[in-house]
């Protein structure tokens, strides 16, 4: 015989904790996008500039960077967290909790964003680069003032996609007691058989993603119109 699920909910008394969990999620995502996004941009530029036919073509560097990105990027995040726990303990001093989660998120986001950046930079028309070369621009100047600005709109959309992925990964991180809405929904919603709490967390995450997606689309459209 199935046990009846409780019909009452603790949602009312949990609102302060829900907002605290929301703040933890925002902090984890913001730190990840700031640090991982910056490192991913640098790594993505390295992939683009050193590839065959690139401004700084270098077969060895390009090969090493591609192997590095291709090694880490396909690993499912739940496995990735476990795999980098020893490194997290060494660098941030713990293998669980918010610091360990942010460390894992930064690494995962860095490799994913690097490939997104590279793919969008590749879309820059070669004719634009050749025109800049013909005008005597240096390779560094072409990269900074031609390639990056030309690819800015799609790069912003790529970062918007990465933001959504990081929100998703931050929820998964609740499995190692990383804090945030994912951990809260699992602890007070799923394990306590309280679907109201679970759905409130879901709706907050959906609302956050919708706002960021709208901002990303708007900013990208404005850049395209310039």
Question: Domain holding 51: CATH number?
Answer: 1.10.3720.10
Band of the pLDDT at 175, cuts 50, 70, 90? Answer: low
Band of the pLDDT at 47, cuts 50, 70, 90? Answer: very high
What sign does the CA torsion over 9, 14, 19, 24 have? Answer: negative
Q: Is pLDDT of 11 > 90?
A: no
Please state the rounded mean pLDDT for residues 44-53: 93
Count structural domains, the chain: 1
Residue 5, domain member (yes or no) = no
Determine the structural domain holding residue 179 and report its residue range.
16-225
pLDDT score, position 177: 63
pLDDT tens, residue by residue, 68-87 = 999 998 898 888 988 998 99
55 to 107, 122, 131: CA distances (angstroms):
27, 12, 14
Residue 9, domain member (yes or no) = no
| pTM, rounded to two decimals | 0.87
Residue 4, domain member (yes or no) = no
What sign does the CA torsion over 27, 30, 33, 34 have? Answer: negative
């Amino acid at each position: 015989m199935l046990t009846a699920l409780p019909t009452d909910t603790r949602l009312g008394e949990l609102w302060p904790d829900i907002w605290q969990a929301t703040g933890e999620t925002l902090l984890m995502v913001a730190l990840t996008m700031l640090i991982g996004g910056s490192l991913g941009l640098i790594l993505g530029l390295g992939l683009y500039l050193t590839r065959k036919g690139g401004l700084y073509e270098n077969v060895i560097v390009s090969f090493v960077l591609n192997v590095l990105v291709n090694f880490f990027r396909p690993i499912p995040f739940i496995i990735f967290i476990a795999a980098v726990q020893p490194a997290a303990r060494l660098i941030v001093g713990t293998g669980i909790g918010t610091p360990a989660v942010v460390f894992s998120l930064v690494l995962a986001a860095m490799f994913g964003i690097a490939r997104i950046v590279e793919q969008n930079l590749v879309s820059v028309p070669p004719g634009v680069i050749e025109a800049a070369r013909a005008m005597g621009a240096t390779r560094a100047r072409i990269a900074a003032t031609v390639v990056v600005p030309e690819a800015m709109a799609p790069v912003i959309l790529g970062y918007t996609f990465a933001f959504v992925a990081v929100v998703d990964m931050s929820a998964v991180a609740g499995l190692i007691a990383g804090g945030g809405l994912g951990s809260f929904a699992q602890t007070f919603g799923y394990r306590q058989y309280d679907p109201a709490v679970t759905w409130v967390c879901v709706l907050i995450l959906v609302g956050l993603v919708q706002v960021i997606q709208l901002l990303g689309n708007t900013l990208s459209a404005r850049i395209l119109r310039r």
